[in-house]
Amino acid sequence: MSFRNVRRDPVEAVKNLAVPLDAKPNEEASQRPVDLVLAAVVVALIGFGVVMVYSASTVQGTTQHHDPQFFLKRQGSFALVALTLFFVTSLFDYHRLYKLTYPVLVSVGALLVLCVAGFGHTGGGATRWLSVGPIHIQPAELAKLALVSWLAYSLAKKAEKVKTFTVGFLPHLLVAGVFVLLCMKQPDFGSAVVLLLLTFTMLFVAGAKVGYILGATILGGAFAVISIVSREYRYARYLAWMNMDAHRQDLAYQPFQSVMSFGSGGTFGLGIGRGLQTLYLPEAHNDFVAAIVGEELGFVGVLGLSAIFFTLVARGVRAALRAPDDYGSYLAFGISAMFGIQAILNLSVALAILPTKGLTLPFISYGGSSLLMNAIAAGVLLNISRQGEKKTVYETPLPPDVSERRRDGDEGLPTDGDGAGDDLALPGLDDAEGAE
CB atoms within 10 A of CB 342: 26
pLDDT in tens, 150-175: 999 999 999 999 999 999 999 999 99
pLDDT reported for residue 12: 43
Bigger pLDDT: 418 vs 363: 363
Give the residue among 226, 344, 228, 346 at the shortest CA–CA distance from 283. Answer: 346
Q: Where are the alpha helices (DSSP H) in 66-96?
A: 70-91
CA 39 – CA 412 distance, rounded (Å):
47
Summarised one tens digit per residue, pLDDT across range 94-126 is: 999 999 999 999 999 999 999 988 888 787 777
Say if CB 56 and CB 364 are below 8 A apart.
Answer: no
Q: Could you give the percent of the chain with pLDDT greater than 70? A: 82
Q: Are 362 and 45 in contact (CB under 8 A)?
A: yes
Nearest to 161 by CA among 212, 223, 222: 212
DSSP codes joined into one string, 96-148: GHHHHHHHHHHHHHHHHHHIIIIISEEETTEEEEEEETTEEE-HHHHHHHHHH
Task: Return d(Cα 196, Cα 218) in angstroms, integer.
Answer: 12
Phi-psi region of 417 (alpha: psi -120 to 50; beta: other; left: phi over 0): left
Within 10 angstroms of residue 127's Cβ, the number of other Cβ atoms is 19
Give residue 381's pLDDT: 97
Residue 319 and residue 385 in contact, taking contact as beta carbons nearer than 8 Å: yes
Asked which of 34-48, 113-127, 189-203, 304-318 is least confident by mean pLDDT, the reply is 113-127
Helix (H) or strand (E) holding 58: helix 36-65
pLDDT at 5: 46
Give pLDDT, residue 427: 44
Closest CA to 390 of 320, 323, 327: 323
For residues 373 and 137, the answer to whether their CB atoms sit within 8 Å is no
Would you say 144 and 198 are in contact if contact means Cβ atoms under 8 Å apart? yes
Q: Using CA atoms, how far apart are residues 326 and 192, in angstroms rounded to an integer?
A: 26
pLDDT per position as a tens digit, 210-261:
999 999 999 989 988 888 888 888 888 889 999 898 888 888 999 999 999 9
pLDDT reported for residue 436 = 40
Query: How many beta carbons lie within 10 A of that of residue 250, not counting itself?
Result: 10
Per-residue confidence (pLDDT) for residue 72, from 0 to 100: 96
Burial of 343 (0-12, 13-18, 19+ CB in 10 A): buried
Q: What is the dihedral of CA 117, 122, 128, 133, to 10 degrees?
A: -90
What is the average per-residue pLDDT within 357-367? 92
Closest to 78 measured CA to CA, from 101, 52, 47, 124: 47
The SS3 assignment for 28 reads strand
pTM metric for this prediction: 0.83
Measured between alpha carbons, how far is 345 from 339 in angstroms, rounded to an integer? 10
Name, in order, each residue with C-beta under 8 angstroms of 404's C-beta and a sequence gap of 6 or more. Answer: none
- Which three-class secondary structure string do you get for 219-285? HHHHHHHHHHHHCHHHHHHHHHHHCHHHHCCCCCHHHHHHHHHHHHHCCCCCCCCCCCHHHCCCCCC
How many angstroms separate the CA atoms of 350 and 261, rounded?
9
| Model pLDDT for residues 371-420, shown as the tens digit of each residue | 999 999 999 999 999 986 655 554 555 555 555 555 555 544 444 444 44
293-340 pLDDT, tens digit per residue, is: 999 999 999 999 999 999 999 999 999 999 999 999 999 999 999 999
Residue 54 pLDDT > 50, yes or no? yes
How is the chain split into domains, by residue range?
33-393, 399-435
